[in-house]
């Protein structure tokens, strides 16, 4: 049963400040569109360039390597490390799942359902990759050899978006247009948890090892759902901030991008929120990840990567 715990600003310790130790590293021109970012098994950061069909590798020392894909229009979107030592990513425009090794060898796999629009992707507990199919209301699973299984969702038009492995051995995902959080087991059993706030439009989701945290882009809130389906929501000081992606640094210690407000945010389990302004105006922060150096790294669609030292 869904339980709502209203968390208003009264009693919350909320503050904004200039970002301590934030640096921006140029990685492309403004037309390339850095979007997704992930820490790789090789100790580097890996990026998708959504507008130019490329994958990039960035070391913590700033060395950049660029890998063009076989289609400049494939729209590589979310990227994550797989259990096989490679990076896996979604290609939302040509409806394929991509794979690239740390050495830069790339391959891709077409999805069985036409026009499916894959977006979120994560490594599952079963040594496979799990991904969302925004346009066709499905969750997909792909093995290391490219075998694909699709699971239909009971939410027509729900727009499944981000997905992450949960602490309970299941996969958890956001349903942007169904205003819900979904859960699917590795054998395909599905549960749907409706959000208390109408039209919240959840997008990014992450696990902190005990619960799931997600962003509500349309209403400027951060949500938390435990494995039993209990939901808490935390309003941001700026309800128009449009939080987009979220990552857990540790238990109850999450960082998120504010795409509409040009900031990186931080939230604890008690609802304490901090916000840090990015140096460049209107830089459109999207994906965020915990780097191998312990810093937070965010992809800025205008052509940079931001590094924030907590």
pLDDT recorded at residue 43:
97
Interval 41-84: pLDDT, tens: 999 999 999 999 999 999 999 999 999 999 999 999 999 999 99
Q: Is the pLDDT of residue 9 over 60?
A: no
Domain CATH number, residue 189: 2.130.10.10
Q: Is the pLDDT of residue 6 over 70?
A: no
Interval 224-254: pLDDT, tens: 999 999 999 999 999 999 999 999 999 999 9
pLDDT recorded at residue 30:
85
* The two three-digit tokens of residue 19, written as one number: 């970002």
Domain ranges, residue 134: 4-308
pLDDT recorded at residue 18:
47
Closest CA to 134 of 113, 149, 148: 113
pLDDT recorded at residue 39:
98
Is the Cβ–Cβ distance between 7 and 235 less than 8 Å? yes
Interval 75-99: pLDDT, tens: 999 999 999 999 999 999 999 999 9
Q: For the chain, how far is it from start to end, CA to CA, in angstroms?
A: 36
Q: How far apart are CA 230 and CA 219, in angstroms?
A: 19
Largest separation between any pair of C-alpha atoms in the chain: 53
> How many helices (H) does the chain have, and how many strands (E)?
0, 30
CA angle at 26 for the pair 25 and 32, rounded to the nearest 5°? 135
- What's the rounded mean pLDDT across residues 191-195? 98
Q: How far apart are CA 32 and CA 10, in angstroms?
A: 42
Q: How far apart are CA 245 and CA 75, in angstroms?
A: 18
Q: How far apart are CA 287 and CA 298, in angstroms?
A: 6
Coil, strand or helix: which one is 290?
strand
Catalytic annotation present for 193? no
Residues 6+ apart with CB under 8 A from 197: 179, 216, 219, 221, 233
pLDDT recorded at residue 20:
64
pLDDT recorded at residue 310:
87
310: exposed, middle or buried (C-beta count within 10 Å: 0-12, 13-18, 19+)? middle
* The two three-digit tokens of residue 177, written as one number: 């247009």
Coil, strand or helix: which one is 225?
strand
Structural domain count of the chain: 1
- What's the rounded mean pLDDT across residues 9-30? 66
State percent of the chain over pLDDT 90. Answer: 91
Annotated binding site for Mg(2+): 284, 301
Q: Average per-residue pLDDT in the chain?
A: 93
Annotated binding site for substrate: 244
Q: Is the pLDDT of residue 2 over 80?
A: no
State percent of the chain over pLDDT 70. Answer: 94
Instruction: Name the pTM for this structure.
Output: 0.93
Annotated binding site: 244, 284, 301
Q: Is the pLDDT of residue 7 over 50?
A: no
- Which of the residues 51, 95, 193, 286 is marked catalytic? 286
Interval 285-307: pLDDT, tens: 999 999 999 999 999 999 999 99
Q: Is the pLDDT of residue 1 over 80?
A: no
The strand pairing partners of 205, in sequence order, are 214
Residues 6+ apart with CB under 8 A from 105: none
* 3-class secondary structure per residue, 205-223: EEECCCCEEEEECCCCEEE
Least trusted range by pLDDT, from 2-16, 81-95, 153-167, 205-219? 2-16
Q: Is the pLDDT of residue 4 over 70?
A: no
Is the Cβ–Cβ distance between 285 and 258 less than 8 Å? yes
């Amino acid at each position: 049963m869904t339980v709502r715990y209203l968390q208003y600003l009264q009693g919350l310790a909320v503050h904004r400040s200039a970002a301590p130790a934030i640096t921006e590293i140029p990685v492309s021109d403004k037309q390339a569109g850095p979007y997704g970012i992930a820490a790789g098994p090789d100790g580097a950061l890996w990026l998708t360039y959504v507008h130019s069909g490329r994958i990039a590798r960035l070391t913590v020392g700033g060395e950049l390597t660029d890998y063009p894909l076989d289609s400049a229009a494939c729209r590589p979107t979310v990227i994550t490390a797989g259990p096989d030592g490679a990076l896996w990513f979604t290609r939302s425009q040509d409806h394929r799942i991509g794979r690239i090794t740390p050495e830069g060898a790339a391959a891709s796999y077409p999805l069985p359902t036409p026009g499916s629009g894959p977006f979120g992707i994560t490594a599952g507990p079963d040594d496979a990759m799990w991904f969302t199919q925004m346009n066709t209301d499905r969750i997909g699973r792909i093995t290391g050899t490219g075998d694909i299984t699709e699971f239909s969702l009971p939410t027509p038009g729900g727009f499944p978006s981000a997905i992450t492995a949960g602490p309970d051995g299941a996969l958890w995902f956001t349903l942007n247009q169904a205003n819900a959080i979904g859960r699917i087991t590795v054998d395909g059993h599905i549960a749907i948890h409706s959000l208390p706030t109408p039209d919240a439009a959840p997008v990014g989701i992450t696990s902190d090892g005990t619960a799931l945290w997600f962003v509500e882009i349309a209403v400027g809130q951060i949500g938390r759902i435990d494995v039993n389906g209990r939901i808490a929501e935390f309003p941001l000081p700026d309800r128009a901030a449009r939080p987009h992606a979220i990552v857990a640094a540790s238990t109850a210690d999450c960082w998120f991008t504010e795409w509409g407000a040009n900031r990186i945010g931080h939230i604890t389990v008690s609802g304490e929120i901090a916000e840090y302004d990015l140096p460049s105006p209107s830089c459109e922060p999207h994906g965020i990840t915990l780097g191998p150096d312990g810093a937070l790294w965010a992809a800025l669609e205008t052509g940079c990567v931001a590094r924030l030292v907590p």
